[in-house]
A = this chain, B = another copy of it.
Amino acid sequence: MAATDQLSAVFSALADPTRRAILAELADRDATVTELAAPLPISMPAVSRHLKVLEGAALISRRRLGKWRASRLEAAPLRDAADWIERYRRFWDSSLTRLDAHLAAVQAAGRETEGMAQDPSVPDNKVLDKEL
């Protein structure tokens, strides 16, 4: 996806298994393009472009080392992605705090009623740009 916004760029980058494999590799150590390409079943130019995508999402940084170019993991954008997802933790986490348990119960109760708003034909939707 064209990086419309930062978070989209990060999720988009993570959507590709090859790129996730590259990040996993970089978690162990910085690496050159050739090193990263070695275990992958694709050509070097393909790897080069995956790296460009990761760089575009700010998930890696790169520097020249003589003949080589080293890639380094930059995890800050992963924090943003994690933060976004965290908002939904209460929907799956079973080890809830007392307050969260209450809120989850309310949520569940609301769901048990089996209806959303009584009359969905009269939607009272607020424009919800709480987050993207």
List A residues at the B interface (Cβ < 8 Å).
1, 4-5, 7-8, 11-12, 14-17, 20-21, 23-25, 27-32, 34-35, 38-39, 65, 68, 70, 72-73, 75-76, 78-79, 81-82, 84-89, 91-93, 110-111, 114-117, 120, 123, 125-132
A130 to B21, CA, bound (A): 8
Most chain B Cβ neighbours within 10 Å, of A11, A115, A131: A11
A84 to B20, Cβ gap below 8 A? yes
- Pairwise interchain contact B75-A35, C-beta atoms closer than 8 A: no
Copies in the complex: 2
Consensus secondary structure, chain A interface: mixed
Contact partner of A4 (CB less than 8 A), chosen from B17, B79, B85, is: B17
Q: B75 touching A24 by the CB < 8 A rule?
A: no
Residues of B within 8 A of A28 (CB): 128
**Within the complex, which residue of B72, B75, B85, B126 is in contact with A88, where a contact is CB–CB below 8 Å?**
B75
